[in-house]
Structure 1
Amino acid sequence: MAAAGVVKTYGAGDGAVTALRGVSAAFTRGRFTAIMGPSGSGKSTFLHCLAGLDTVTSGTVALGEVDLTALSRTRLTELRRERLGFVFQSFNLLPMLTAEENIRLTGRLGNRRADRAWFDTIVDALGLRERLSHRPSELSGGQQQRVAVARALLTRPEVLFADEPTGNLDSRSGAEVLGFLRRAVDAYRQTVIMVTHDPGAAAHADRVLFLADGTIVDELTAPTIDAVHARMRRMEG
């Protein structure tokens, strides 16, 4: 996946706000990238543009040979369902469905039968086997987010997007979710792009992109918590 010269402007005239100012970045298959920056830096907007959840004002976003910015709304919806996965801060589970039904939901919407062995692999890796018959109200926040991760991975997406996936979790639950995302990259060559404000979360990634005022201003490979803290302090100072 790659973005080239992405500009995103909201509104027009004197009231226009430019959230992204010509952002370019490439994301290698089987790598974990974290995106960080101060509030208002454009990090969530960039993630949404990469994922086809928001349109770009100019520039391109490509998934392989497909230019997302050139697709119709219908085709973009189909591509998101078939080739991308999403995990958000709010778990977005349907309360009337069991954990298993929520996990299988995306595949059913796309008329895709999930491979049973792959279903078993992710359910067991996420420790959800004993919770499959439970509804979201019967699950902890960490368990709900693990269900959301399993749902996102069930269709084997080319890219998994995660927007503050640990934002509503306690530190232990958050560490469990991040640990599984890391394992998904290492064991299954999953590509993960994650927005976070937490240096501890970013330290699970292979690299961190730092945004400020709608542009990428820094990049850190093999991040540690201390190194991420230092870069963020430098940006905010």
Structure 2
Amino acid sequence: MATAQGTKLLAAGVECIAAAVELVKTYQQGETRIRALDGVTVGFARARFTAIAGPSGSGKSTLMHCLAGLDAATSGQVILDDRELTGLSDRELTRVRRDKVGFVFQSFNLLPQLTALENIVLPVTMTGRHLDQDLLDHLVGVLGIGDRLSHRPAELSGGQQQRVALARALLARPVVLFADEPTGNLDSRSGTEVLDFLRRSVRDLGQTVVMVTHDPRAAACADRVLVLADGRVVDDVDTASGADVTRALQVVGRAG
């Protein structure tokens, strides 16, 4: 269940589906102790598209990894779907990631020996869950990959591989979809198409999306831009009004 501080985040405004409370992450690099996250407290609203931006080393990827249960914080709390992840066993965290989290990475992470369709349905079939054929058909149609389902990853373009990865992540109906530089390995046209689909998944499917990016143009496609520097939140820009998009671009540009 959510802690008192987590509940305050919920009460402060919109409903949060994920939150970090006084999150600290340190690690050793030689003789130097690095503070990757320095007391971050932030909530993420349900059915919104949030971009986490900042320069290399700002802590943006570390924050996402902690929120997704991929990395353990040194102190503080992570709350996902009203459940605190801090202190869960590896087995419990694996279950949370399987049941509640979707991942999309710039490296695609597709299995080369499987077809596009087999890659898409693999997480669902491996866990014995019911395959939602209607959702599968919807995702394949919207992403425009219906004629590529029998092809293996090596036979697909980078943009097509990323669309397959998106379909795979969303087919399991995750509570939050985390995307780590999802346009980093794509040309500008494919990147724009991926960002457009992420926005549509929020609008049409009620999906919550948290994306890490260093690209100001990608960040400005989100409803909100959270800017990190030196492990701290230095700006939080609501771009949904339209008037703030220019500010978001300027803020991320300074951070990058």
Amino acid at match of 2:251: R
1:135 aligns with 2:152: yes
Aligned residue for 2:144, secondary structure, equals coil
1:19 aligns with 2:19: no
Residues of 1 paired with 2:161 and 2:29: CA distance?
40
Percentage of matched positions with identical amino acids: 61
Cα RMSD after superposing both structures: 1.5
Deviation at 1:235, TM superposition (A): 4.2
Whether the 8 Å CA contact 2:239–2:248 is kept in 1: the answer is no
Aligned residue for 1:97, secondary structure, equals coil
1:39 aligns with 2:56: yes
1:227 aligns with 2:244: no
Residues of 2 paired with 1:13 and 1:178: CA distance?
38
Amino acid at match of 2:252: M
Aligned residue for 1:11, secondary structure, equals strand
Superposed counterparts of 1:50-199, under 5 Å: 50-199=67-216
Which runs of no fewer than 5 residues in structure 2 stay unpaired?
1-17
TM-score by length of 2: 0.89
Amino acid at match of 1:229: L
Aligned residue for 1:209, secondary structure, equals strand
Amino acid at match of 1:52: G
Which runs of no fewer than 5 residues in structure 1 stay unpaired?
none
Superposed counterparts of 1:198-217, under 5 Å: 198-217=215-234
Whether the 8 Å CA contact 1:82–1:110 is kept in 2: the answer is no
Aligned residue for 2:203, secondary structure, equals helix
Bigger CA drift: 43-52 or 224-233? Answer: 224-233
217 and 81 in structure 1: CA distance in 2 versus 1, 3 angstrom threshold: same
Residues of 2 paired with 1:109 and 1:59: CA distance?
33
Aligned residue for 1:226, secondary structure, equals helix
58 and 211 in structure 1: CA distance in 2 versus 1, 3 angstrom threshold: same
Residues of 2 paired with 1:110 and 1:138: CA distance?
27
Equivalenced residue count is 236
Bigger CA drift: 85-94 or 107-116? Answer: 107-116
Deviation at 1:15, TM superposition (A): 2.3
Residues of 2 paired with 1:229 and 1:188: CA distance?
27
Amino acid at match of 1:77: T
TM-score by length of 1: 0.96
Whether the 8 Å CA contact 1:199–1:225 is kept in 2: the answer is no
Residues of 2 paired with 1:202 and 1:39: CA distance?
15
1:189-217 Cα offsets, whole Å, 9 max, x none, are 10000000111111111100000000001
Residues of 1 paired with 2:249 and 2:168: CA distance?
32
Aligned residue for 1:40, secondary structure, equals coil
Deviation at 1:118, TM superposition (A): 0.7
Aligned residue for 2:76, secondary structure, equals strand
Deviation at 1:43, TM superposition (A): 0.4
1:100-131 Cα offsets, whole Å, 9 max, x none, are 00001111222212211011011111001111
